[in-house]
Amino acid sequence: MYNGFMKYLLSNDPDKTVSEKGMKLRKLINPAFKSLIPLSIRQKIKVQSRAKMPDDRPIIFASTHGFREDVEAAVVAAGKNKHAYILIGSLKQVFHAKEGIYAWINGAVLVDRTDPDSRAASKDKMRKVLSLGGNIIMYPEGTWNISPNKLVAGLFPGVYDTAKEAGALVAPIASHRVGNVIFARLGKAFDITKFERQEGIRRLRDKLATLKWRIYETLPVTKRSTLPQGEEADRYWEQTMDDLRNEVSHFEHELERMAIFRPKDIFHRDEVFEHIKELLPGHNTAFLFNKKLI
């Protein structure tokens, strides 16, 4: 399968990828399109809460990202009366799977995450959507949150920059999948630009984490004693992540790994201890090889 008719969406020219006529048509058919979404996936989408969205400002729906159907969950959570274009960076999925056709019908802004010019152009294209009275769905985590302990991963600041340049509000969406049910919550839209860039991003992340925690509070509690421990827990988590990735056709493992947000002042454990591999045992370094000190 190859959705070659969508190649025009890769253009860096907003006028070639976003049109007022196309937006009006997609907005017109959007309620019907959303009603068909539950038929396209195996899971039932249950929106636990949905804040009322204002009509006098464009909205950027900022969603958590962690499983195959969270795009559908965000589209549904936004509500039948709020049509929004989706920012998508999984190009192989777009051009080689039926989900790409669904995205085109809904309205999509494509970005090649490996191309700086494409990344810059995606902001221009989103601004055009917002300037024409449309809305946007973004995933500021950039890729799936694969952390075993973070409710929400670090957020890329593009959501703040786009909101500031377009005068848009930001509405957080959190979703979580359990078995055949997807739970979602839409929080209140807020003006992220009332805060400095770093503080605005921090507040958005807090709002996303709070919504996700609210979902968890409605779910059955699992006893810690029933969960795997130590290395077994690590293997269990990796297998869980692999199972999720295997649900996606054309999953780009290396690209998604590189897309994780990394603050410049935060270092991974492996990076911190990388130099240890180059050390040789000697009089001055022997203590570093004493396992009792680790």
pLDDT per residue as tens digits for the range 117-136:
999 999 999 999 999 999 99
For residue 271, is pLDDT > 70? no
Q: How far apart are CA 152 and CA 165, in angstroms?
A: 25
Quick check: pTM over 0.85?
yes
Backbone region of residue 150 per phi and psi (left: phi > 0; alpha: psi in -120 to 50; beta: other values): beta
From 273, 85, 266, 57, select the one nearest 167 (Cα to Cα): 57
Amino acid at 224: R
The encoded tokens of residue 286 equal: 């022997």
Q: What is the mean pLDDT of residues 102-112?
A: 95
For residue 267, is pLDDT > 60? no
Neighbouring C-beta atoms of residue 65, cutoff 10 Å: 18
From 169, 140, 174, select the one nearest 156 (Cα to Cα): 140
Residue 85 is predicted with a pLDDT of 97
Asked if 259 contacts 113 with a C-beta cutoff of 8 angstroms, the reply is: yes
Q: At what angle do helices 20-40 and 70-77 cross, to 10 degrees?
A: 120
What is the rounded end-to-end Cα distance, in angstroms, of the chain?
Answer: 52
CB hemisphere CA count around 47 (13 angstroms)? 16
Residue 272 is predicted with a pLDDT of 63
Residue 213 is predicted with a pLDDT of 97
Query: What's the pLDDT tens digit per position in 141-181?
Result: 999 998 888 999 999 999 999 999 999 999 999 999 999 99
What residues are paired with 87 via a beta bridge? Answer: 109
